[in-house]
Copies of this chain bind each other. A is one copy, B any other.
Amino acid sequence: MAVLFVNGKFCKDPRLVTADDFVFQGLNIPRPVNDPVGTTLTLINVDQLPGLNTLSVALTRIDFAPNGGENPPHLHPRASEIFLALEGTFFVGFVTSFPDYKLFTKVLNKGDIFVFPQGLIHFQVNLGKTNAVGFAFFESQNPGIIRVADAVFGSNPPINPFILARAFQLDPNVVKNLQAKFGNNN
């Protein structure tokens, strides 16, 4: 039978549900960080953890490279977030919406939390000289992640560079260059 797609997910037959549907293991294990911005995302949403279905919670482990490894400006289209600084020192911030575009920032030490409202662009940067780790908690089983540079310059297919050149006040050749870089990331 063909796969069916519904709003959210199909629920498992309740008689077949086990405790394993509610657990995800090994989030203490460091992940290698190889991307140019210096972070690795381990997203646990309803796709990885079926028991989240209908429950409005999800979580991401974020590993940061040292010396400015960053979770670059990004947003979650369907959830607000609490960020927990587990290991390391972070510079974090978010920008409010039109027309003020006000930036709120804070330095977080180990054990501090910070709140990022739904849909606002925000970032976290590792200020330390060693790897750092944070956890992001979301109030949605499928919050979504949009890294702004990836979406704008790395979409598939690319956005017409003349549109981006005008939007970002950049030379079209600079845009094409960015698209080449970010296109490779995906």
A residues lining the B interface (CB < 8 Å): 1, 3-14, 17-20, 22-29, 36-38, 41, 44, 49, 51-59, 68, 70, 72-73, 75-78, 80-82, 84, 86, 91, 93-95, 97-106, 108-121, 123, 125, 135, 137-140, 144-160, 162-164, 166-170, 174, 178, 181-182, 186
Evaluate contact between A113 and B7: CB separation under 8 angstroms: no
| Additional pairs, 13, CB under 8 Å, beyond known A22-B106, A57-B137 | A1-B1, A5-B11, A23-B108, A25-B109, A28-B111, A91-B160, A91-B163, A95-B159, A98-B145, A101-B151, A148-B152, A168-B178, A169-B178
Q: Which of B75, B139, B162 contacts A68 (CB 8 A)?
A: B162
10 contacts between A and B (CB under 8 A): A4-B10, A6-B11, A22-B106, A27-B84, A51-B115, A56-B80, A76-B119, A98-B146, A103-B157, A148-B167
